[in-house]
Chains A and B, each alone.
Chain A
Amino acid sequence: MNLPAALDRYRLLVCVGTGGVGKTTVSAALALQAAMRGRRALVLAIDPVRALARALGLADLGANERVPEAILAAAGLAPRGVLGAAMLDQKRAWDSFVLRHAPSASVAEALFANPFYQRLSTSFAGSTEYMAIEETCRYAESGEYDLIVLDTPPAAHALDFVHAPERIDRLLDRSVYQSIISGAWRGAGITARFLLRRLEHATGSSTLRDISAFFAALDALIDGALERTRRARALLRGGDSAFVLVTAPRQLVIEETRELQAKLAAQPTPLAAVIINRTHDVPDVDASSLDTLGSDPAARWIRHAWADAVAEATDEREVLARFAALLPSGTPLGEIPEADHDLHSLRDLALVAEGLGR
């Protein structure tokens, strides 16, 4: 299956890659290309740079995630489908998660006021992954979109979010947290009682009270939340989801990408495509006129820049040839050639999207 076919076929494409390779740009371009092909596509961006957010009309956060036709038309685009763009805001996502699953306003209020909840939803590491999954499911189930392109968190831990449903399940396991709520920890076993006493001592007792209150309030939300994580797992593992691996043509990045690819291969979700961002071609032309430019600083700069460009492109092609040889045969491999500026207008994205659509 080539990339355009994948854009037509899947309901969820998860863009993964090591940091700085342009995952967000590629995610947005994929969604745009899917929209051009007639699908209703949404890109769910995590922490997009401001310029890209502006290009997609994300300035007023998620009020309406459809990219307005006027913005598209101004970039010369008239998609047959629909393009949506949303940005993951961790705090807002947690709050709406609570509001969605809370049986009453007072339960939600209790959670919002809980100091432990406030920390969890803002500063604690790792909760972005939980919410990325939650938001993906919410959009997938809304029926408003045929395809969701998920940009993953900046990641050394590129696959954390794949395991997010299991982690939420463990967190929400009643048999576990009930022992915290009950306070007396009856039936929690000697190990648990010992651990809790120690933890209470270590963390200061008010913390455990906050955590107990947090779980007590959470209890009311749990059935809805567990059902959601079950569906999240089904969505990720079902046949309608695939990974898109994004990388850059540099030795160190490629080495990390190879490791990531090995981890992806162990997942039940298939790899739809590998996209190499910002490639260069080795210029195969006679550049002898550069020798006649003289020897002033400008001429020296020009010759240096030329030698640099040729050397860089040559190295790059070697790295890419070795990488391509190691990919499973038949993996669609897309390249996005480097432009002469940072890509952050909708028109730029359209050019990338068009290249990917071929």
Chain B
Amino acid sequence: MRARTEHAAKGCSARATLTLRKWFVIDGTMPSRRLHVVTGKGGVGKSTVAAAIALSAAQRGAKVLAIELGEIGGTCRILGSAPPEPGTIVRAAGNTYVAYFDGAAALAEYLTRRVRLGRIAERVIEHPLYEAFVGAAPGLRELMAIGKVRDEFVLQHRWDVVVVDAGASGHALEHLRMPAAASATFASGRVHREAEANARLLRDRSQCSIHVVSLPEEMPLREATHTVSSLRALDLATGAVFVNRCVPPAPAGVIEKLEHVTEPQVAQLLRRAHAWQAIQERGIAALEAELFIQALRIPKLRTVDELSRCRALDPYVGGVAR
């Protein structure tokens, strides 16, 4: 996957763009079974991209579950379901299902089922010692949340496509780093095996893609570059880089043309728009050069609500949902 994207990325030629466009056309084929993890700094539109991938895959006939990790946020909101209880799966817009996995609940469930605490579990979980253990190793919760995702994706066999909105980027990377960190910390035993299994799934390019979302601005693009590099350093299954809210690149001659705009306020606003566009182009070029991939641009779209916007994004995100 990575090798293909990287080859495709060499040179941002018109032909390459056309090829990519062709991949994106809705062709009615069923998406392949895949776990999509969507990450990125807060506020870049991660939830929008996650919801759009879920809707695209569902539209092609896949049975899709969108999962939020951490706190209930955008994806559930966009897909129009009332916030579900942690761990429960509810039906949402466009034939998708949504769930919210909370680390603490996932850990409690894990201990009940896997460590076979059974009926005594409730008393154990209320015991201060449990709190101390979980408090001393907070990463366990993140690990178990990823474990729940793995359960749904691998073990249940109910879903063709699972899309994970991995939360704000600091936390998202922690979620993704946790399996490797935990398998090093817990040298043996079940937790170690659990962490190993999670890490294996997140590294398996045939089953999993970790997408990074950014905005077309200098700092978010640098962050995205850094995130992708970190994912690669952890040998995780890096997917696409989406740049959300892009404006069309300006053709030559805009600055000269703006000389003819007589209203100073209009000219000033347009010069600012042009400056932001230049920042976008420079930033994307730098990211593409450093990571050796082609970023996938998502335009600014004005729609009545976020759900319509996500549906309208199919031509831009549909390629990864195939």
Contacts and interface: CB of A to CB of B under 8 A. Distances in A.
B177 interface: yes
A154 B124 contact: no
Interface string A259-301: 0000000000000000000000001011101101100111101
B132 A170 contact: yes
Contact of A123 (B116, B139, B275): B139
A227 interface: no
A125 B302 contact: no
Q: How large is the interface on B (under 10, 10 to 19, 20 to 34, 35 or more residues)?
A: 35 or more
B14 interface: no
Interface in B68-94: 70-71, 73-74, 77-78
A157 B70 contact: yes
Interface in B213-237: 215, 217-220, 222-223
A201 interface: yes
Interface stretch (B55-63, B178-186, B202-210, B286-294): B178-186
Interface residues of A, number: 86
Contacts of A71: none
A206 interface: yes
Given A19-B168, A153-B170, A301-B254, A177 B132 contact: yes
Contacts of A175: 128
A32 interface: no
Contact of A252 (B74, B175, B220, B257): B74
B171 interface: yes
Contacts of A191: 120, 123-124, 127
B187 A204 contact: yes
B186 A203 contact: yes
Interface stretch (A131-139, A235-243, A327-335, A340-348): A340-348
B254 A125 contact: no
Contacts of B261: 289-290, 293, 302
B47 A302 contact: no
Contact of A289 (B73, B130, B168, B260): B260
Contacts of B260: 289, 292-293
B270 A302 contact: yes
A206 B135 contact: no
B3 interface: no
B27 interface: no
Nearest to B41: A20
A195 B257 CA distance: 74
Given A195-B124, A311-B302, A156 B188 contact: no
Interface string B257-295: 110111101100111111111010000000000000000
A296 B70 contact: no
11 contacts: A18-B43, A19-B43, A20-B215, A124-B138, A155-B168, A207-B191, A293-B257, A301-B250, A306-B266, A309-B270, A341-B276
Interface of A: 18-21, 47, 49-51, 115-116, 119-120, 123-128, 153-157, 167, 170-171, 173, 175-177, 179-180, 188-189, 191-192, 194-196, 198-207, 211, 214-215, 248, 250-253, 255-256, 283, 285-287, 289-290, 292-293, 296-299, 301-302, 304-306, 308-309, 311-312, 315, 338, 340-342, 344
Interface of B: 41-44, 47-48, 70-71, 73-74, 77-78, 111, 114-117, 120, 123-124, 127-133, 135-139, 141-142, 167-171, 174-175, 177-178, 181, 184-192, 215, 217-220, 222-223, 247-248, 250-254, 256-258, 260-263, 265-266, 269-277, 279, 300, 302, 306
